[in-house]
Chain A
């Protein structure tokens, strides 16, 4: 028994643990998601985060120790953001044709969700730095962290809010769009990408290629608009 504990302590303290645990848990969560017919509530990001969180808690593993391994996955978010140019490039003809409508929808939609989160957070009496961390939550988390830092929020908290926003969007989009009678898959994908960034886009891609491409466009536009406009908006507040 003692040997086992020692072995565990050794394994858990190497970067191998965080990397392996993340991949194994994600692959399993994705398999379950497929098995359940990609039901929104079976979202693999949600259940991977919950499973890994419980695993760290049960084994008394500190988050920095886990992250020492998981950072190898995290680092890929940077090139993934650069890669968003690819779906934009593929749809450039459509973008040129619909560019004004898409940009306007991204601008108004992004401003309304950021505005609503700040107004609601303030009305419910949340501390200032928490409200400032909520503002960029519709932008993909690596960018949301940068924006939060610039407007006086907490980067780590902003990342968590962005992830939660992504999960909420991916879980509920189908029901909200059905209720609003939005039939066009392009419009559904674009709205999901605007409010729920990469996690919404991942969900949209799993449902339909057209929806996924529009979610990718929305995600890219939101990154651009929010990085440029949110710091300005907070200067004026």
Chain B
């Protein structure tokens, strides 16, 4: 029951997000606005257990949710066969750059914060 209650909360927030995005021509997609709204909404203790149940179920099987669009690759096989190697190069290299830059920068920032902390003590 908690799962269904939580799912209802998530869907209502997504719907509010979609409505706000549409009405105010916001640059954010509806579900993202719903996500922003859920953070203050969780101040209400009654919402926490249901949201926890629904969030854990949905996020625990997140990979499954990507498969229907992923299979859509087959509708773009012509484009992929034409630019395949170049697309692969772009995707692989830019993904590695993103991971490396994020990891090295965050490691540096956290280490610096830690050494400042220990200096202060």
Q: Which residues of A contact B (CB under 8 A)?
A: 18, 22-23, 25-26, 44-45, 48-49, 52-53, 56-57, 63, 66-67, 70-71, 73-74, 76-89, 98, 100-102, 104-106, 108-110, 112-114, 116-117, 120-121, 124-126, 130, 134, 137-138, 141-143, 146-147, 150, 156-157, 159-161, 163-166, 168-169, 172-173, 176-177, 180, 182, 184, 187-188, 190-192, 194-196, 198-199, 201-202, 205, 216, 218, 220, 223-224, 227-228, 231
Within 8 Å CB of B31, what residues of A?
A: 77-79, 81-82, 142-143
Contact yes or no, A180 B100, CB < 8 A = yes
Of the candidates A110, A195, A199, the one whose C-beta lies within 8 Å of that of B63 is A199
A70 to B69: give the CA distance in the assembly, Å.
9
Q: Choose among B11, B73, B75, B86 the residue with the greatest number of A CB atoms under 10 Å from its CB.
A: B73
Residue of B nearest to A179 (CB): B100
Of the candidates A86, A143, A173, A223, the one whose C-beta lies within 8 Å of that of B59 is A86
A108 to B99: give the CA distance in the assembly, Å.
11
Counting residue pairs across A and B whose Cβ atoms lie within 8 Å, the total is 294
Within 8 Å CB of B38, what residues of A?
A: 82-83, 85-86, 89
A196 to B60: give the CA distance in the assembly, Å.
16
Contact yes or no, B98 A105, CB < 8 A = no
Query: Is B94 positioned at the interface, with any CB of A under 8 Å from its CB?
Result: yes
Residue of B nearest to A220 (CB): B35
A52 to B27: give the CA distance in the assembly, Å.
34
Contact yes or no, A70 B68, CB < 8 A = yes
Contact yes or no, B68 A80, CB < 8 A = no
In B89-121, the 8 Å CB interface with A consists of: 89-107, 109-110, 113
Top 4 A-B pairs ranked by shortest CB distance? A113-B98, A109-B102, A195-B98, A70-B68
A/B interface sample: 25 pairs, CB < 8 A: A70-B71, A71-B68, A82-B34, A85-B36, A101-B106, A105-B102, A105-B109, A110-B102, A113-B99, A116-B93, A120-B89, A141-B66, A161-B91, A163-B73, A172-B95, A176-B100, A182-B107, A187-B110, A188-B103, A190-B106, A191-B98, A202-B62, A202-B63, A216-B59, A228-B27
Q: Which residues of B contact A (CB under 8 A)?
A: 7, 10-11, 13-14, 17, 27-32, 34-36, 38-39, 42, 51-52, 54-56, 58-60, 62-76, 79, 83, 86-87, 89-107, 109-110, 113
